[in-house]
Structure 1
Amino acid sequence: MSQHPPVPHGAPRPADLAPRDFMRLIEAFGLTGAWRWDFISGRQVWSSGLYRLLGLPEGETASYERLHGLVHPADRDVLEDAAQIVHAGIIGSHTVRLIRPDGTARIVVSRGEVFFSPEGRPVAATGVLLDVTDRERLAELHRLEQQRRSSLAQQAQVFIHTEPSLPPTEYGSEFLALVGLRREEVRADWLAPIVPEERPRWRDELPRLAAAERPFSVTPTLRLAGGGAAPFRMMMVPFRDGPLREGLARDGPADPVSWTVVITPREGEADLPPEHPSHRVEPAVAGCHLRAARGLLDWTLNDLARESGVSLSTVRRLEEDSEGPASRSRPHVLEALRKAGIVFTLVEGGMVAVARAEGDVTPPGTRSG
């Protein structure tokens, strides 16, 4: 068994230095800092890392009021003020924005703890700030990307997602709603979104095209959740999961290929099924058109919910465009309006005209079934 060399008398042991060394290493990245406030003496201390995180020169008087003043004005009510900490002993965990003296902004998580005397009086507090700017910005970019994809799906029936391999099975929720399938159904049969008569063709052709590991597109006719079918184009673009190594020898196996899949409606009237003209206008019907149709019928939200068999909250979301063309409830609402005499027409420029048909219509409350 190995033995450590003896430590000279009076010399600090390695374990005595570890916490300080660890703190110094962590704070060297400029992403964290700590503070302590003794309420009895009034003394406040900031670590070197906190000065760097706040963008202040080390040696400036440590003050919780100074730290609180650097918080974005819109976030100051979130963070406890000095009186809440000293007199009430309140301090929590918060995520706030800081504005440094040079004008740069950082997002930090603030956590602290208050220490009490045996009588229950607050006597001191300590806290730590952790810079999470990169994490929060990445999360925001991800949120915006998801919002962009959702908007494309809802407004233009354009669907974008990534597949670890082909044939495709990992579609987004908007696409699954369009074709009226659950994820488990598609994973069990990747041809399920395609109309049955075309499945033999794409069963053979898509794997053959994918084997070349080059961009390609296919043009299947997809089944729709509301009934019928519509032609779409599916573009598949491969990319390597590992770093590019062009011109370098490959000693090992090639990096695996993933695929970006872009699904768009096929443009042109010749591609649309003539027996289903509503397939072109329905995706363009927005919440404002639903409200206009309801106004022409002098219906309330409750009337439309009752006639369509859809919940009131769902009807409200449809009219607010919170649910797009892929909504499972949307076809029922459109059908109820059509039965009541509403006609949606796609006019020049892609705009939707809403009109009430001539003749008798079904008043609310008389829907059969």
Structure 2
Amino acid sequence: MLQFQDHLDPWDILRFFEDKVGAGLWRYDAEGRMQWSRGFYRLLGLDPFTIAPSYAEIEKRIHPEDRRPKRDPREFMFDRSLLNGEIRIVRPNGALRWIRIQSEVLLDPASAKESVLGLAIDITEQRRLLQPLKMDSDRYAALIDITGGVLWIGTQDGRITALLKADNNAEAQRLFGNGWIDLLPEEERETALRNWLVAAETGRPYDVEHRLRQPDGSYRWYRCKAVPVPEADGVIREWLGISMDVHQEKLSLQPAGAAKLTGAQLRAARGMLNWSVKQLASRTGLSAAVVRRLEEQNGMLRMPEGTINQLRDTLSAAGVEFIFPAVGKPGVRPR
């Protein structure tokens, strides 16, 4: 077996390693003396002929946001956290570099602490390559916050195998595995499973609304959407889904009664469609005077049911939707 020490000088090996990897070594002994290798000088952008190795000199190069609280360098012998980890350094020319530092305490033959040996590696390029991933991760986290839902990963047979960004969400944990099925009303479980299996077999997106039992025994409406995540060969590896609480929205979309419409809704709907009073009157067969009188009424319109239905149906067909929330005032929005 080839022995390196028989053919190469240790310092040649160290220089080769430092040059190719972008690394450097430092040492701090029990007497408070520090030594740096040529590679460590190069990491800091310093001249070995003009700068003496010291912890204070390293600290000057550490980015202000990454500096640890002021400590006595002699604590290196007992606490290596003064430098261990990933930190940014600013070279004298202003260049910013990321370095990872790891260290180890060395003992003398009597097992007393003799020195601390540290290795520093330039990881700036790795950090640069990871930046797009971090941005995607931040956007992904923001998307979860915007949707207000629980993201999950599921299998072909409908089991939820992972809940994303929901480690501390006890309610989300109830969905894990087949738990979501047990939370459905008993009479809805068979249909829910059948819908899922159809999506899994066809590869079409899954999009349903169902009720889930809450810890207090009540039920809330959720909208569940999922899309397949395929392998390169097209085989579905997993499903990525989101479950969103739409209970209040569901209540707000309760169908209006046979003669349920307010003057404010009528005005808003006409304005949304950019119709004049005459246009609405012409489309409904009413007079402009009747339309104006209805729009001026407070609360629910007091007119024959047929007239109100005619107004509501005409406006709905033109692209507006009337909503009657359980809490708050009736409203109108584009369909």
The TM-score, its normalising length taken from structure 2, stands at 0.54
Among 89, 95, 98, the alignment partner of 1:99 is 89
1:28 aligns with 20
Three-state SS of the structure 1 residue aligned to 2:160 is coil
| Alignment match, 2:161 | 170
Residue pair 1:80, 1:91 contacting (<8 A) in 2 also:
no
- Provide the C-alpha distance between the structure 2 equivalents of 1:75 and 1:210, rounded to a whole number of angstroms: 49
1:227 correspondence with 2:220:
no
What SS is found at the alignment partner of 1:28? helix
Q: Distance in 2 between matches of 1:272 and 1:176?
A: 30
Match of 2:200 among 197, 204, 210: 210
The answer on whether the counterparts of 1:71 and 1:98 sit within 8 Å (CA) in structure 2 is: yes
Query: 1:126 offset after TM fit, Å?
Result: 2.9
Amino acid at match of 2:44: L
In structure 2, stretches of 5+ residues that fail to align are 256-325, 331-335
Q: Residue 53 of structure 2 is aligned with which of 57, 63, 87?
A: 63
Q: Is the 8 A contact 2:32 2:73 kept in 1?
A: no
Q: Is the 8 A contact 2:159 2:178 kept in 1?
A: no
Contact 2:154 2:161 in 1 (8 A): yes
Amino acid at match of 1:178: E
SS at match of 1:233: strand
Q: Does 1:260 align with 2:240?
A: yes
3-state SS of the aligned residue for 1:192? helix
Q: How many Å separate the matches in 2 of 1:109 and 1:43?
A: 15
SS at match of 1:33: strand
Question: What is the CA–CA distance in structure 2 between the aligned matches of 1:79 and 1:241, rounded to whole Å?
Answer: 52
Residue in structure 2 matched with residue 269 of structure 1 by the alignment: 251
1:197 equivalent to 2:187? Answer yes
State the alpha-carbon separation in 1 of the partners of residues 11 and 210 from structure 2.
Answer: 63
31, 36, 61: which one aligns with 1:45:
36
Determine the C-alpha separation between the residues in 2 that align with 1:78 and 1:232: 49
SS at match of 2:191: helix
Question: What's the CA shift for 1:236?
Answer: 0.8
> Identity of counterpart residues, as a percentage?
17
SS of residue matched to 2:161: coil
Contact residue 221 and residue 250 of structure 2 kept, 8 A: no
Q: Return closer, same or farther for 1:176/1:111 CA change in 2, 3 Å cut-off.
A: closer
Q: Note the residue ranges of structure 1 that are not aligned, 5 or more in a row.
A: 243-252, 274-344, 350-369
Alignment-mate amino acid for residue 150 of structure 2: F
> Which residue is 1:13 aligned to?
6
- Equivalent of 1:113 in 91, 98, 105: 105
In structure 2, the CA distance between the partners of 1:264 and 1:90, relative to structure 1 (3 Å rule), is closer
- Judging changes above 3 Å, is the alpha-carbon distance between structure 1 residues 194 and 143 closer, same or farther for their aligned structure 2 residues? same
What per-residue deviation string (whole Å, max 9, x for no partner) do you get for residues 28-48 of structure 1? 233x42113578896733242
Map Cα deviations across residues 279-325 of structure 1 (whole Å, 9 max, x no partner): xxxxxxxxxxxxxxxxxxxxxxxxxxxxxxxxxxxxxxxxxxxxxxx
**2:105/2:113 contact within 8 Å kept:** no
Deviation string, structure 1 residues 229-262 (Cα, Å, up to 9, x no partner): 12221111122245xxxxxxxxxx6554222101
Contact 1:236 1:259 (C-alpha < 8 Å) held by counterparts: yes
Deviates more, 1:216-225 or 1:74-83: 74-83
**Alpha-carbon spacing, 1:67–1:148, altered in 2? closer, same or farther (3 Å):** same
**What is the aligned-residue RMSD (CA, Å)?**
4.9
Number of residue pairs matched by the alignment? 250
